[in-house]
Amino acid sequence: MNFREQRENFRNKKISAKEAVQEALCKVENDKLNIFISNLRDSAEKRAEEIDNNFEKYKDRPLSGVPIAHKDIFCTENIQTTCGSKMLSNFIPPYSSTVTRNCDEAGSVMIAKTNMDEFAMGSSNETSFFGPVGNPWNDSLVPGGSSGGSAACVAANITSISTGTDTGGSIRQPAALCGITGMKPTYGLVSRWGMIAFCSSMDQAGPFARDAFGCAALLDAMASYDGKDSTCSKRDVVNFENALAEDFGALNIGIIKNIEDLGINNDVLEAYEHSKSVLQQLGHTLKEIDFSELSSGICSYYVIAPAECSSNLSRFDGVKYGYRSDQNNISELYMKTRSEGFGDEVKKRILIGTHVLSAGFYDAYYLKAQQVRRMMKNKFEDIFKDVDLIFMPTTLDQAFEKNRQDSDPNRMYKEDLLTIPANLAGLPAISFPNGFKNNLPVGGQFVGNYFKEDLLLNTANKIQEVTDWHKMTP
């Protein structure tokens, strides 16, 4: 069932919040794909009863009566929050993130926390301390990452909505690999408070749903000004669900010249070509744009993200919270705690980050990477003088085999080639299913100008009105 039907059923009293929650929890308990880190049956049933008992109060809220799963990166009061790491495997936060609070306020019921790459570092969900997640279309394949659990949860029809975070593509890439819709909002639209930090200048939370409609409603719930996050936008937030009905007219949509030279798989390109013709049928004009800088984003990201993570993760020292190694001597304690508590990918990034920030290498790496980031932002600004949106595939490939990382570690980083540019510039982007090849979904994405979420959701929704890719289920 999609989000809209589920919410209608609650509003029309065809199903109570408690029944919806119990049905979803049954599926959580039968999950064979390792999608979840925790199952919150007790608190979820209680909360659902409260919503049912106060039907009039909740019925018109954006997520009324709908079960939701949250990525285990969001702190949840009195509920274990692991960030996919041994380091936080025993961490019970004393407060909740703004995102999960907002979703509660909006009438949803949190039923589970989803599996993820450790500290959101990864593109395949294989770096999780709690083991890899299987792709609902084929469990020998990865669901994408780092929000792979949240994407698989919606694709497997366990909940109709879930939350994720996208620092370099972690919402859009798993959405594409699992055949659902996922959105990374403009940096600053959604509060980062209570969301465990990886790369603070790019981390941004966003919605997953089967379609643009579900993403719009969930984003309505998630987005709010929050004084506890100094980078949170103070602009008035528009109502995204209402924006779906607006008429934005015929658009100029940018298509990147020679995109096929970037190493995109032929099946993905075929789906992309087909979607271009759908956009034309809807009355939009395709305009070729020069964007040869696109592929340099990845080099910049894999310097800046490790640099910020090396700083953010210094707080995990075995003293303040989380895992602590058994040692009496303080420096031994720090070292052992961090050696035992972090996985290999996280350690690799901390090492790279510390190196690129060190006195002798700062100018050569970190400063250069920031210059490339600025160039990327300027380039987007130029492009958006001519076009309303940019359309491109979300990923180079479809879902791939587990353990691929073993043969070529850099290949995994390359996965983010098409998603990272939007993160570097802080722009909003939405990925939606736009084809089906080899019995697996393919994703396409729109990137828009700052705070144009309404336009992105509206345009994706128009496509979904005339195509069926988002209705396919494993």
445 half-sphere exposure, CB direction, 13 A CA radius: 31
Tell me the per-residue interface mask from 120 to 159 with ligand GLN, x by CB under 6 A, - otherwise: xxxx----------------------x-------------
DSSP secondary structure letters along 55-123? HHHHTTSTTTT-EEEEETTB-BTTB---TT-GGGTT---SS--HHHHHHHHTT-EEEEEE--SGGG--S
Which is closer to ligand GLN, CB of 168 or CB of 254?
168
Q: Which residue has the tokens 């009105």?
A: 465
Q: Does 170 bind ligand GLN (CB under 6 A)?
A: yes
Nearest 5 degrees, angle CA 239-CA 243-CA 244? 130
46 in active site = no
List binders of ligand GLN among 47-76 (CB under 6 A).
Answer: none
Q: How far is the CB of 447 from ligand GLN (least distance, A)?
A: 15
Which is closer to ligand GLN, CB of 262 or CB of 472?
262
Sole window of 48-56, 61-69, 161-169, 371-379 interacting with ligand GLN (rule: CB under 6 A): 161-169
Which is closer to ligand GLN, CB of 6 or CB of 125?
125
Count of residues engaged in binding ligand GLN, rule: CB under 6 A: 14
Of the candidate residues 65, 67, 168, 443, the single one contacting ligand GLN (CB under 6 A): 168
- The two tokens of residue 458 are 């509206």
Given the residues 16, 123, 128, 146, select the one marked as catalytic. 146
Of the candidate residues 31, 104, 126, 166, the single one contacting ligand GLN (CB under 6 A): 166
Decide if 191 contacts 413 (C-beta within 8 A). no
Closest of 79, 205, 97 to residue 150, by C-alpha: 205
Which is closer to ligand GLN, CB of 169 or CB of 393?
169
Amino acid (one-letter) located at 67: P
Which is closer to ligand GLN, CB of 64 or CB of 170?
170
- Strand 429-437 versus strand 440-448 pairing type: antiparallel
Task: Show Cβ contacts of residue 292 under 8 Å, excluding neighbours closer than 6 positions.
Answer: 258
Give the SS3 label for residue 36.
strand
- The two tokens of residue 127 are 């770096």
Q: Does 312 bind ligand GLN (CB under 6 A)?
A: no
C-alpha–C-alpha distance, residues 390 and 128, integer Å: 33
Closest of 148, 53, 164 to residue 103, by C-alpha: 164
Q: Does 397 bind ligand GLN (CB under 6 A)?
A: no
Give the SS3 label for residue 293.
helix
Q: How far is the CB of 145 from ligand GLN (least distance, A)?
A: 6
Tell me the per-residue interface mask from 270 to 309 with ligand GLN, x by CB under 6 A, - otherwise: -----------------------------------x----
Which is closer to ligand GLN, CB of 274 or CB of 348?
348
Q: CA-CA distances (angstroms) from residue 137 to 169, 183, 404, 452?
A: 20, 21, 18, 32
Q: What is the DSSP letter of 195?
A: B
Sole window of 82-90, 165-173, 350-358, 384-392 interacting with ligand GLN (rule: CB under 6 A): 165-173
Q: Does 169 bind ligand GLN (CB under 6 A)?
A: yes
List binders of ligand GLN among 103-122 (CB under 6 A).
Answer: 120-122
Closest of 124, 206, 72, 83 to residue 413, by C-alpha: 124
228 in active site = no
Given the residues 16, 18, 71, 160, select the one marked as catalytic. 71
414 in active site = no
Q: How far is the CB of 174 from ligand GLN (least distance, A)?
A: 9
Which is closer to ligand GLN, CB of 31 or CB of 166?
166
Which is closer to ligand GLN, CB of 150 or CB of 458?
150
Closest of 226, 377, 404 to residue 297, by C-alpha: 377
- The two tokens of residue 148 are 């792979």
- The two tokens of residue 97 are 């993130």
Given the residues 16, 160, 170, 431, select the one marked as catalytic. 170
- Strand 109-114 versus strand 440-448 pairing type: unpaired
Closest of 428, 441, 430, 434 to residue 463, by C-alpha: 434
Which is closer to ligand GLN, CB of 412 or CB of 463?
412
Q: How far is the CB of 98 from ligand GLN (least distance, A)?
A: 18
Q: How far is the CB of 201 from ligand GLN (least distance, A)?
A: 13
Of the candidate residues 38, 167, 445, 464, the single one contacting ligand GLN (CB under 6 A): 167
Counted residue by residue, the chain has a size of 474
Largest Cα separation within the chain, whole Å, is: 70
Give the SS3 label for residue 198.
coil
List binders of ligand GLN among 193-212 (CB under 6 A).
Answer: 198
Of the candidate residues 52, 241, 397, 416, the single one contacting ligand GLN (CB under 6 A): 416
Q: How far is the CB of 469 from ligand GLN (least distance, A)?
A: 23
Q: Give the interface with ligand GLN as residue ranges (CB under 6 A).
A: 120-123, 146, 165-170, 198, 305, 416
Q: Which residues participate in catalysis according to the annotation?
A: 71, 146, 170
